[in-house]
Structure 1
């Protein structure tokens, strides 16, 4: 493997920004310091640029296997790397659902062949696969995923006894999608009666998948976790009300209950359904503006621990199905999540140090990722160089997702990722990919 010497970078890491050099050898960060003179195969002069750990996105849907017309384990990791995401954790609601150890292993085997980024996959829970869940290897699998709300296939876990047993016996972190199914069904029926099946407006989405539906499910998950001392991580918090469920006076390393916010719940609000329509239809729903303001504050005060994407591509044709009920939920975002947060930095809402904390350090701590998420000697060299003097206007011709579109099209975002190093491999440089090496399977110190 080629050695790399990065010179004169502004390193953003562990709450500090300092000018330094970084030497990478055999996939690892070998030395950090000023005026390094190691001989390297590749030398990068990063003067004026910011060097960060690679982003760890703990929630993506890359659609492989079974839905690969939307995205796959080649196209979406490639887009991720272009956006500075070096590691992803992918969800089990593919086709077939990853709810047995063999189906889970099949996804790892596919990623080893195709993924430019580092990878891990969640084991999926159902109402009747507890025995399979308990076989999950805590060292090489990121967690157990439970859909405590509407989902695809056989993945809605709504049996109270099953939930009790999973929370009681899980050997590892449980990540939950929390929306109360009964509330959603009742709300849907109300709008069907009001508008008819074919005429529900897109703006009804946050009223159907309501604040009440989110809070009711999240509070149940928290109650179960406290009862059984379960390691719980609640994904994509979308309401101000849910923030009261989470502590901000405990160090992340000591938290048993953690929470995530996604970039789209910070960036968009319900006023944009009129212009963007189904492009911003996702579960849980993007809600009125007071929520995104509260979520941002919750991020800054540490009630929300991690920033992720819930990247979920659908084809443009699927998204433009013409009716509220016909359009699938999900947004493609993994290529631009870091730049969205850099836009908030440019607006003075968050520091670079805090962005790195929430997108790189915190996922590593939360999931106990081994030797990633920080720029430290002896750690894997997952590194990103960003030029904040450049901007990028998101457009169809620079979107790399297989689905070919982004809800951010037309937006000019600050900061251009110039280089992405994945496990010591210079995978992306000034718009060009080196696909001669695949990413690594992530391990966990548990």
Structure 2
């Protein structure tokens, strides 16, 4: 088995940046050390690379990607996007279920796993999507090989809105999986859209997208998801946070012992609604980009 030694590097891991070295045997990291490389390693490794102070950083795990495979592969597919991921330092990804067909059955999930096993150059995982009618699929799924359940409280790409209270209670009380939530209140979105369509009969301007999908819808849905997780003791993950208010709800819930985590996306950190006149639909996404204070 061939060995490769990377030395004189800055190792970034576990919250620290330390000068050190890494020994690789075959395709596995065998040893890691800080400071100077032991002399016996430098003499015995098949290949020695002097990193000259360059950083060595663990591969990123991206837990929220949309590779559009199957059914929408004119946009992207697992082969192309896994290569793009690795090129950017992402070595593991978890793909969302709003493909065509949607990943809401065990068969659809197996199909994506088989496809990834054939073409992906990165480690992979997949969410199983929830609907108002696929509770048996969710209850029978093997979550040792599935990242969790993706739950849409507000409609977005695909047809996986879950707005039935009985189904929601069952998902949170009867499944053992992590529940990743797209948190927007659908009734509030519909009411906002109806009001704005009457106000703008020629079409709602793109800069009004934060009003079509208002912050109140995000806050209400996140509060609802947290309440369900707290009531049933389940694990909930709030996807793509777009408001400061939601962070406060999550922090307070964590302090109460609720098993809640969250994520955001670069666009919510880089842009606000004042950027719509210049950038238009290029920053239109769901949830919508909000205020500068967010």
- The answer to whether 1:205 aligns with 2:209 is yes
**How far 1:43 moved relative to its partner?**
3.8
- Residue of structure 2 in register with 1:265 after alignment: 268
Given the two structures, how large is their TM-score scaled by the length of structure 2?
0.93
Given the two structures, how large is their TM-score scaled by the length of structure 1?
0.62
- Residue of structure 2 in register with 1:106 after alignment: 111
Report how many aligned residue pairs link the two structures: 288
- Residue of structure 2 in register with 1:130 after alignment: 135
User: Residue 134 of structure 1 aligns to a residue in which SS?
Assistant: helix
Q: How far apart in 1 are the matches of 2:185 and 2:74?
A: 30
- Residue of structure 1 in register with 2:292 after alignment: 289
- Residue of structure 1 in register with 2:259 after alignment: 256
- The answer to whether 1:228 aligns with 2:232 is yes
**How far 1:41 moved relative to its partner?**
5.1
**Cα contact 2:156–2:286 (8 A) shared by 1:** no
Deviations 1:334-390 (A, max 9, x none): xxxxxxxxxxxxxxxxxxxxxxxxxxxxxxxxxxxxxxxxxxxxxxxxxxxxxxxxx
Q: Please list, as runs of the form range in 1=range in 2, the aligned pairs for 1:20-31 lying within 5 A after superposition.
A: 20-31=20-31
Range with greater deviation from structure 2 (162-171 or 32-41): 32-41
Deviations 1:37-83 (A, max 9, x none): 26445543322211111111110100000000000001111111111
Deviations 1:185-231 (A, max 9, x none): 111111111112x4321110111111101011111000000000011
> CA 1:256 to 1:42, structure 2 compared with 1: closer, same or farther past 3 Å?
farther
> CA 1:56 to 1:31, structure 2 compared with 1: closer, same or farther past 3 Å?
same
Unmatched 5+ stretches in structure 1:
292-446
Q: Please list, as runs of the form range in 1=range in 2, the aligned pairs for 1:320-335 lying within 5 A after superposition.
A: none
Unmatched 5+ stretches in structure 2:
none
> CA 1:127 to 1:119, structure 2 compared with 1: closer, same or farther past 3 Å?
same
Please point out which of 71, 84, 88 is paired with 1:83: 88
RMSD of the alignment, in Å? 1.9
Q: Which has the higher contact order (CA 8 A, sep 6+)?
A: 1
Q: How far apart in 2 are the matches of 1:277 and 1:47?
A: 44
Q: How far apart in 1 are the matches of 2:291 and 2:99?
A: 30
Q: How far apart in 1 are the matches of 2:204 and 2:260?
A: 36
Which structure: greater helix fraction? 2
User: Residue 261 of structure 1 aligns to a residue in which SS?
Assistant: coil
Q: How far apart in 1 are the matches of 2:58 and 2:253?
A: 26
Q: Please list, as runs of the form range in 1=range in 2, the aligned pairs for 1:420-431 lying within 5 A after superposition.
A: none
User: Residue 131 of structure 2 aligns to a residue in which SS?
Assistant: coil
- The answer to whether 1:7 aligns with 2:7 is yes
> CA 1:2 to 1:136, structure 2 compared with 1: closer, same or farther past 3 Å?
farther
Query: Of the two, which has the highest radius of gyration?
Result: 2
Q: How far apart in 1 are the matches of 2:217 and 2:230?
A: 20
> CA 1:47 to 1:275, structure 2 compared with 1: closer, same or farther past 3 Å?
same
> CA 1:18 to 1:269, structure 2 compared with 1: closer, same or farther past 3 Å?
same
Please point out which of 131, 137, 147 is paired with 2:152: 147
Deviations 1:381-400 (A, max 9, x none): xxxxxxxxxxxxxxxxxxxx
- The answer to whether 1:120 aligns with 2:125 is yes
Q: How far apart in 2 are the matches of 1:163 and 1:41?
A: 57
> CA 1:118 to 1:194, structure 2 compared with 1: closer, same or farther past 3 Å?
same
